[in-house]
């Protein structure tokens, strides 16, 4: 059995846990601890805080999932002042082995290893994800994370590929999306799909719908609009949420076509879980399969929502196992 520290670092929070990897590859996560990045001057001091909470010592193996690109000599975060130098991870942390992955790459590792109980069925055939082939993974959050994996369960192997699929062009499919695109083009020379399919994008969707109806609305943040849209207290916000689900369905279908994700598609992230009931009753499913001559093929793809409570931590451990314990 191998013990390791797993870390999932975002802009606001850094989550730590102790994980164990059994000889048969089974991963067990201990209770995670969440630290606020603003409370620590650096990742090093956050690590030391966690170490003290664990009695002053930690396992010598480390797996880290980081919200941002992990290549290069220096990793800088968009929303916190921390800097991580990959070459210094082992000497600074007292580690002997480490794995460093993008946060959404970690989610794809979690998808590859999670059992069927960790998924909710959304659309397509109500069957498990394919045991062999490519699975597409995407998740709307602050941006739009996109990855894919190829696996062969019988052979006990898989491979994850991180991508920047959230930065492909946004393709409007009707007059309302034409209006959303026109609004966004006033601020951006190029409109990527994550400008429409991400948590903050609900503001532009909402304000576009308001303008189309000639309504004057006060500026609200995305959290307020999501809340009113999901609890039904604001019909315009609810319409914006439905519109978001349409765009997510179309995007998920495009990703599957581009990646060959015919063994399944997985929606990940806290926002996906929050809107799961709306996804089931919206036009998500229709938009997913509405791919012209390939509609028949799209209808054969199972689409799931991963509900593992800590996919970033679990996926970091899985990435470590894949690299050091193949």
66 Cβ contact list (under 8 Å, min separation 6): 9, 75, 77, 84, 100, 101, 102, 103
Token pair, residue 153, equals: 């369960």
Token pair, residue 124, equals: 């397509």
Known binder of ligand: residue 8? yes
Known binder of ligand: residue 11? yes
Closest-CA residue to 66 (of 5, 8, 15, 146): 8
Distance CA 72, CA 86 (A): 8
For residue 266, the tally of other CB atoms under 10 A from its CB is: 30
167 Cβ contact list (under 8 Å, min separation 6): 192, 193, 194
Known binder of ligand: residue 9? yes
Known binder of ligand: residue 124? no
Known binder of ligand: residue 145? no
C-beta contacts of 208-213 below 8 A and 24+ residues apart: 208/176, 208/179, 208/180, 208/183, 209/176, 209/236, 209/239, 209/240, 209/243, 210/236, 211/179, 211/183, 212/176, 212/179
Instruction: Give Dmax (Cα) for the chain.
Output: 63
217 Cβ contact list (under 8 Å, min separation 6): 206, 207, 210, 236
Known binder of ligand: residue 270? no
Annotated binding site: 7-12
Annotated binding site for ATP: 7-12
């Amino acid at each position: 059995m191998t013990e390791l520290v797993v870390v999932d670092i975002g802009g606001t929070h850094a989550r730590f846990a102790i994980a164990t990897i059994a000889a048969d590859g089974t991963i067990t996560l201990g209770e995670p601890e969440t630290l606020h990045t603003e409370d620590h001057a650096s990742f090093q001091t956050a690590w030391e805080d966690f170490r003290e909470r664990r009695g002053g010592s930690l396992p010598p193996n480390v797996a880290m999932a980081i919200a941002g690109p992990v290549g290069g000599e220096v990793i800088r975060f968009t929303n916190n002042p921390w800097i991580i130098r990959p070459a210094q991870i082992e000497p600074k942390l007292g580690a002997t082995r480490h794995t460093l992955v993008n946060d959404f790459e970690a989610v794809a590792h979690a998808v590859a290893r999670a059992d069927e109980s960790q998924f909710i069925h959304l659309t397509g055939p109500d069957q498990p994800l394919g045991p062999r082939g490519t699975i597409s993974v995407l998740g709307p959050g602050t941006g739009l994370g996109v990855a894919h994996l190829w696996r062969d369960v019988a052979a006990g192997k898989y491979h994850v590929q991180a991508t920047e699929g959230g930065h492909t062009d946004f393709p409007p499919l009707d007059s309302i999306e034409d209006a959303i695109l026109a609004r966004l083009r006033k601020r951006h020379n190029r409109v990527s799909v994550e400008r429409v399919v991400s948590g903050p994008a609900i503001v532009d969707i909402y304000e576009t719908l308001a303008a189309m109806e000639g309504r004057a609305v006060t500026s609200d943040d995305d959290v307020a609009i999501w809340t009113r849209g999901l609890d039904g207290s604001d019909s315009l916000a609810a319409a914006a949420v439905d519109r978001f689900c349409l765009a997510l369905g179309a995007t998920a279908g495009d990703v599957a076509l581009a990646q060959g994700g015919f063994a399944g598609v997985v929606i990940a992230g806290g926002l996906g879980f929050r809107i799961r009931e709306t996804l089931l009753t919206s036009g998500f499913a229709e938009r997913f399969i509405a791919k012209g001559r390939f509609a028949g093929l799209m209808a054969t793809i199972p689409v799931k929502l991963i509900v593992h409570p800590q996919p970033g931590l679990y996926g970091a451990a899985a990435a470590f196992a894949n690299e050091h314990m193949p």
